């Protein structure tokens, strides 16, 4: 599907999207329940031999027969255990066994040890798995982790550009390769499940998670969703059943489309806020990626913290059960967000038993309860025993969870494979990330009136100035969800190459001197302006993630503006590279700069930026977000009746001159 031209009619966009919606609904509603299928084996453990006992242990049995056989053997405590996902800090062997824990997760920054190698992760996960497998029924535990731009929690993993940059590539095949590489790196640490992809359609860049969205246009997000899921989970075979959960084998992971639904449309972009929209608007703007996710066999869907027309998504039976499960025929399981039931009330965790009741009855199957798992188990047990929650609702949840586990082959291969450790951060993945950086860059300006373009920069020069807080800061390049939840500054958080490193390597064979000053003063620039052939100024936002990243001003933080004024206004021709998770207010500076590049959040491979600055590769990125003039215009998206951007959706210059080394 094509991308609408800048300034296109809103009604045309909605009409096109809605037509696609109805076609997909017809397809999905006619598909029926997935056919019974045998769970795949594969991986390092090999196929277990069936001992003639319980049918669920026999991989030759049809999938549905295995599910029903196991379900019939389970006690209420074992069923509620399967519905519980706890934080790794609490997942001791005694807790996993005693509460029949179905799933464990690492929150942002939750690691076995600082800078832990892949082997340490594998052993940690396997120790928990051994506890799960030692229970009466031996149901494997499912370990999950965020991997929204690579395996970002893990030291030395490849960190890819965040989705805001990948949307600018308009290349679904590239995104599929990134999904496959991410899956391998996650499996290298023994983990089979990722809380990715984020398929939000961000309609307001003031939202602190906007960088996790591919685009403001649902069709771009839908295209990328259709590719990233088979990248992570593997391609569904030609004779496979579309719409059923699918994971190809031990080099793939179960995926999770999030956050269902409308998280990118909240008022003023405030995280966890209300999305005010008609059902027609919800279907046309925010729902399309979920149609694609279900068709591609996504294993799980995570519910959003946000509300739709003042109804909390965690309590929305219509959208979770009636629409996602029944209308779209989603057969995987629905998972809550981090402490999602707690956040249904204000203050949080108030009247928790009512929150548990509303969430489970709405259709949530697995509950992310990192710390309050004992209270959750007690409350849900009481609600079932007093008849408030029917046993059929519990059985539906557990069937879905078991379906995913059987489909993944966890019963046959429950343990992580240490031989995959070499996949973490391997050169081929870093080269793929470097390519993604190159493809994601958007050239917004190149040359002042009456002057020749500044880019591509000549590699052979006497002396060049590199300035700005983001030129030599790996953590700033990577952004949030890197090593920690909110991200970190500095160069010691993981392995990678800064933009300054890339510039130095690009010119090192040409006798060019690189002078780096993070924040040069006006006196330095005036004294030396005749000594510099040109300057590269790299500025932007510090790292952030949800809530903490919400920003109603969207200005470039200091000292960025000061560095731009001092260097670019000081008589040196300058290229400004903006490292950010969204468009920022740049109109006051555009006239002073010779070239302006949106680099988004490129990740660990900063050489991808220098590759394009020096013309080894051309600029091909096109804006997947509207670049506003002022925040007063927001929200403003392509197709709106009042559309007056600084740079429109789809904008992106190419290089008009050939690279030069002279």
The single residue listed with the structure tokens 């005010």 is 276
Answer yes or no: are the C-beta atoms of 355 and 344 closer than 8 Å: yes
What stretches of 17-96 adopt beta strand conformation (E)? 84-87
Query: In whole angstroms, what is the distance from residue 471 CA to residue 292 CA?
Result: 38
Q: Give me the DSSP letters along 561-620.
A: HHHHHHHHTTT--EEEEEE-SS--B-HHHHTT-SEEEEEE---SBTHHHHHHHTTSS---
Q: In what order do the strands lie in the sheet with 442-446?
A: 442-446, 595-600, 574-579, 534-540, 463-467, 513-517
Q: Give me the DSSP letters along 165-230.
A: HHGGGT-HHHHHHHHHHHHHHHHTTT--EE---B------TTSTTGGG-S-SSHHHHHHHHHHHHH
What stretches of 107-179 adopt beta strand conformation (E)? 142-145
- Residues classed as catalytic: 337, 546
Query: In whole angstroms, what is the distance from residue 178 CA to residue 156 CA?
Result: 16
DSSP letter at 148?
B
Query: In whole angstroms, what is the distance from residue 408 CA to residue 333 CA?
Result: 13
Answer yes or no: are the C-beta atoms of 19 and 38 closer than 8 Å: no
DSSP letter at 528?
H
**Residue 52 main-chain phi, psi, to 5 deg:** 85, 5
Strand, coil or helix: 4: coil
**CA 52 to each of CA 48, 57, 62: distance values in angstroms, whole numbers, following the listed order:** 12, 9, 15
Q: Give me the DSSP letters along 46-59.
A: -PPPP-SS-GGG-T
Answer yes or no: are the C-beta atoms of 225 and 296 closer than 8 Å: yes
Peptide bond into 286 cis (omega under 30): no
Q: And the tokens for 613?
A: 């600055």
Query: In whole angstroms, what is the distance from residue 167 CA to residue 226 CA?
Result: 13
Q: Which helix (H) or strand (E) holds 359?
A: helix 352-362
Answer yes or no: are the C-beta atoms of 300 and 290 closer than 8 Å: no
């Amino acid at each position: 599907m094509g991308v609408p031209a800048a300034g296109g009619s809103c009604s045309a966009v909605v009409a096109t999207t809605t037509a696609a919606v109805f076609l997909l609904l017809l397809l999905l509603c006619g598909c029926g329940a997935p056919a019974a299928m045998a769970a795949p084996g594969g991986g390092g453990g090999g196929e277990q031999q069936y001992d003639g006992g319980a049918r669920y242990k026999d991989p030759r049995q049809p999938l549905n027969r295995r599910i029903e056989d196991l379900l019939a053997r389970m006690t209420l405590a074992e069923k509620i255990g399967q519905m519980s996902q706890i934080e790794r800090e609490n997942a001791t062997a005694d807790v996993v066994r005693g509460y029949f824990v179905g799933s464990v997760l690492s929150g942002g920054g939750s690691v076995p040890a600082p800078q832990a190698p892949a082997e340490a992760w594998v052993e940690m996960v396997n120790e928990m798995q051994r506890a799960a497998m030692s229970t009466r029924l031996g149901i494997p535990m499912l370990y999950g982790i965020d991997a929204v731009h690579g395996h970002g929690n893990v030291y030395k993993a490849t960190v890819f550009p965040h989705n805001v940059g990948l949307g600018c590539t308009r290349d679904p095949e590239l995104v599929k390769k990134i999904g496959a590489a991410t899956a391998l790196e996650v499996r290298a640490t023994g983990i089979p499940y990722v809380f990715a992809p984020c398929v939000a359609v961000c309609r307001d860049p003031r939202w602190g998670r906007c960088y996790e969205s591919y685009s403001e246009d649902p069709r771009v997000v839908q295209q990328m969703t259709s590719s990233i899921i088979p990248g992570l989970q593997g391609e569904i075979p030609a004779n496979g059943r579309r719409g059923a959960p699918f994971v190809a084998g031990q080099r793939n992971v179960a995926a999770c489309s999030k956050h269902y639904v409308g998280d990118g449309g909240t008022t003023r972009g405030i995280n966890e806020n209300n999305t005010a929209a008609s059902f027609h608007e919800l279907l046309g703007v925010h729902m399309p990626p979920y149609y694609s996710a279900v068709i591609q066999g996504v294993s799980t869907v995570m519910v959003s913290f946000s509300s739709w027309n003042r109804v909390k998504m965690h309590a929305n039976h219509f959208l979770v059960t009636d629409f996602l499960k029944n209308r779209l025929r989603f057969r995987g399981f629905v998972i809550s967000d981090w402490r999602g039931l707690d956040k249904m009330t204000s203050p949080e965790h108030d009247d928790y038993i009512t929150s548990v009741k509303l969430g489970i009855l709405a259709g949530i199957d697995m509950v992310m309860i990192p710390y309050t798992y004992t209270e959750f188990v007690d409350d849900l047990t009481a609600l079932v025993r007093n008849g408030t929650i029917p046993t059929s609702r519990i059985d539906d949840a557990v069937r879905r969870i078991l379906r995913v586990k059987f489909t993944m082959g966890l019963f046959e291969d429950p343990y992580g494979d240490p031989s995959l450790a070499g996949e973490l951060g391997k050169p081929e993945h870093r080269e793929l990330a470097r390519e993604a950086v190159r493809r994601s860059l958007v050239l917004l300006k190149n040359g002042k009136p009456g002057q020749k373009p500044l880019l591509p920069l000549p590699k052979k020069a006497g002396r060049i100035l590199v300035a700005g807080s983001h030129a030599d800061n790996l953590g700033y390049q990577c952004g949030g969800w890197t090593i920690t939840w909110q991200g970190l500054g500095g160069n010691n958080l993981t392995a990678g190459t800064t933009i300054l490193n890339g510039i130095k390597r690009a010119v090192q064979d040409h006798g060019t001197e690189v002078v780096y000053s993070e924040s040069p003063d006006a006196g330095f620039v005036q004294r030396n302006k005749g000594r510099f052939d040109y300057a590269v100024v790299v500025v932007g936002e510090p790292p952030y993630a949800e809530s903490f990243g919400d920003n109603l001003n969207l200005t470039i933080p200091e000292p960025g503006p000061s560095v731009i004024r001092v260097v670019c206004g000081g008589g040196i021709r300058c290229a400004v590279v903006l490292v950010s998770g969204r468009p920022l207010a740049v109109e006051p500076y555009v006239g002073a700069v010779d070239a302006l590049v949106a680099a988004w959040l490129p990740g660990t491979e900063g050489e991808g930026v220098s590759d394009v600055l020096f013309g080894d590769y051309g600029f091909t990125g096109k804006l997947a977000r509207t670049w506003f003039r002022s925040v007063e215009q927001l929200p403003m998206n392509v197709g709106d009746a009042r559309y007056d951007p600084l740079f429109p959706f789809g904008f992106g210059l190419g290089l008009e001159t050939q690279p030069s080394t002279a």
